[in-house]
Amino acid sequence: MIGGQWGDEGKGKIVDLISPSFDLVARYQGGHNAGHTVRFQDKHFALRLIPSGICRQGVMNIVGNGLVIDPRALLYEMETLRAAGVEIGDNLKVSDRAHVILPTHALLDGAREKALGSANIGTTSRGIGPTYESKANRTGIRLADLVDADRFVELARPLLTHQGAVLRHFYGTDAPPVDAILQEYIECGQKLRRFVTDTSAYLGHELARGKKLLCEGAQGVMLDVDHGTYPFVTSSSCGPGGAVTGLGIAPRSIGLVLAVSKAYTTRVGSGPFPTELHDELGDRIRKRGNEFGTVTGRPRRVGWFDAVVARTAARLAGIDGIALTKLDVLDDLDEIPVCVGYELEGQPANEVPARADHYERVRPVLEVFPGWKTSIEGAATFDELPENAQRYVSALEKLTGVPVVILSTGAKREQTILRGRGILDGWLRDLDRT
């Protein structure tokens, strides 16, 4: 399950809905820049690192090798969940190959953003990019190292010292004393030790036994480090390829790809966004859709559904079905434009350009659909939707070439339409199990 746009598509609700059909739920990339909102009993949680299956009995949750983990954030998340009555023990495994975010990574993230001024990326300042940098330049520290105090000190001291010097020298920022960081992280390592294991080997074993695995993508295809709107992206591979490398599973073990997309579009942080609304209508949708970041609280930028983005996602990720969320947010609009193509300097341009400065100059070609002007909350089947809502959804299917198999018409689990199941048959079972 991946994000089909720029993240924040409502993946938490969808994974929460379908996770009873799976034996295992795994996160494969990103870190605590993500915020997946799920429901447990009557409470809502914003999960950052822990997979959304954690609130379900009998589901094993895997934090894969492709993640970057701030151990303090992971422990805090565990404590918060436990305090609310969620059991965390043998139902969670964390990869020994996942990388550790150090405080200096986060400080570097923030310092660089500040230095970039108005040209910044708008990161979450969690240290995600700098930690993936350490991973790629082979100075990174992994969970397997963190849980062994001597080895951790041996590896982390030079990295902390180096990054501390860079912070001081280039950014005029002081990092906390190295020994204090080492001590805090050693303690975290001891607390996390029982969860840390070779999750790729474990998954290989479970998949061979016929167990069903749900790979829970974070962010979205347009934030992918290779295929997104570089450099205004996150630093990991958000698509199904990321699930293969970020979990250490074989490509052929992926049987179905579900993309979650909003019925309109949002994005947080900087970067091109062709269908963005800068007017009062955008404010209305933002308010009605509660479009404020789960992690940072930042207002999200809002725009119309972009079929070029959706087609790109379909090509990159081989999407079998779309879970379309927040259709109800459009309930009171007279007209709903959809971007069906782009123009660049008067010429049709139907692919996302490689260069962000070119993408900024792209104009959306809009087709306008009539609104339905009535509440669709509580519609249990597609046929119950007003005709114009049905027409809108069918138009998106035609424009993207992908069937809309799940339709979300409100925040609650029951405000969901499963459309004839179709390709989901055989994948989703026992959906009533809560």
- The reply to whether 328 belongs to the active site is no
Interaction between residue 415 and ligand IMP (CB under 6 A): no
Is the CB of 133 or the CB of 397 nearer to ligand IMP? Answer: 133
Q: Which stretch binds ligand IMP (CB under 6 A): 120-128, 171-179, 276-284, 391-399?
A: 120-128
> How buried is 264 (Cβ within 10 angstroms: 0-12 exposed, 13-18 middle, 19+ buried)?
buried
Using the rule CB under 6 A, which residue among 91, 104, 200, 219 binds ligand IMP?
219
Residue 366 in contact with residue 276, Cβ under 8 Å? no
DSSP character string of 360-388: HH-EEEEEEEE---S--TT--SGGGS-HH
Q: Is the dihedral of CA 70, 71, 75, 78 positive or negative?
A: positive
Q: Is 249 in the site for ligand IMP (CB under 6 A)?
A: no
Report which residue's Cβ sits closest to ligand IMP: 269
User: Which C-beta is closer to ligand IMP: that of 91 or that of 125?
Assistant: 125
User: How far is it, in rounded angstroms, from Cα 211 to Cα 196?
Assistant: 21
Nearer to ligand IMP, 189 or 269 (CB): 269
According to CB under 6 A, which one of 52, 61, 91, 123 is a site residue for ligand IMP?
Answer: 123
d(CA 294, CA 138): 32
Q: State the Cα angle at 192 between 77 and 28, rounded to 5°.
A: 65
Say which amino acid occupies 96. Answer: D
Residue 48 near ligand IMP by CB under 6 A = no
Closest distance between ligand IMP and the C-beta of residue 232, in Å? 6
Which of these segments, 27-35, 68-76, 82-90, 424-432, binds ligand IMP (CB under 6 A)? 27-35
Residue among 99, 126, 262, 311 that touches ligand IMP (CB under 6 A): 126
The residue (of 122 and 318) whose beta carbon lies closer to ligand IMP is: 122
Q: Is 122 in the site for ligand IMP (CB under 6 A)?
A: yes
Helix (H) or strand (E) holding 303: strand 301-303
Strand pairing category for 92-95 and 196-197: parallel
State which amino acid sits at residue 67. L
| Residue 221 · residue 4 · CB < 8 Å | yes
Which of these, 14, 398, 286, lies nearest to 390 by C-alpha position? 398
* Lookup result for tokens 């879970």: 323
Exposed e or buried b per residue across 69-79, where buried means at least 16 C-beta atoms within 10 angstroms of its C-beta: bbbebbeebbe
Q: Are 46 and 292 in contact (CB under 8 A)?
A: no
Is the CB of 122 or the CB of 299 nearer to ligand IMP?
Answer: 122
Q: Both tokens of residue 314?
A: 């379909």
Q: For residues 108 and 105, what is the distance between their CA atoms, to the nearest angstrom?
A: 5
Sign of CA dihedral 389, 394, 396, 399: negative
425 is catalytic: no
C-alpha to C-alpha distance for 192 and 202, rounded to whole angstroms: 18
56 vs 301, beta carbon nearer ligand IMP: 301
Q: Give the one residue of 34, 111, 159, 307 binding ligand IMP; rule: CB under 6 A.
A: 34
Paired tokens of 209 = 């036994």
| Contacting range for ligand IMP; rule: CB under 6 A; set: 12-20, 29-37, 54-62, 255-263 | 29-37
Footprint of ligand IMP on 221-240 (CB under 6 A) = 223, 232, 234-235
* Candidates 32, 36, 105, 227; catalytic one: 36
Nearer residue to ligand IMP within complex by CB, 129 or 140 = 129
Number of residues counted as binding ligand IMP (CB under 6 A): 20
Span interacting with ligand IMP, options 62-70, 124-132, 304-312, 395-403, rule CB under 6 A: 124-132
Report residue 129 CA to chain centroid gap.
Answer: 15
Neighbouring-strand partners of residue 299: 292
Note whether 29 binds ligand IMP by CB under 6 A.
no
Contact string (CB under 6 A) for ligand IMP, positions 72-111, x = contact? ----------------------------------------
Q: Where are the alpha helices (DSSP H) in 19-102?
A: 71-83
Judged by CB, which is closer to ligand IMP: 6, or 342? 6
Residue 51 interacting with ligand IMP (CB under 6 A): no
User: Residue 376 Cβ, how far from ligand IMP at the closest point, in Å?
Assistant: 25
Cα-Cα-Cα-Cα torsion 7, 12, 14, 18, nearest 10 degrees, comes to 140
Looking at the Cβ atoms of 127 and 189, the one nearer to ligand IMP is: 127
Which of 5, 8, 140, 286 touches ligand IMP by CB under 6 A? 8
Binders of ligand IMP among residues 257 to 276 (CB under 6 A) are: 268-269
Q: Which residues bind ligand IMP (CB under 6 A)?
A: 7-8, 33-35, 121-124, 126, 128-129, 218-219, 223, 232, 234-235, 268-269
Supply the residues annotated as catalytic.
Answer: 8, 36
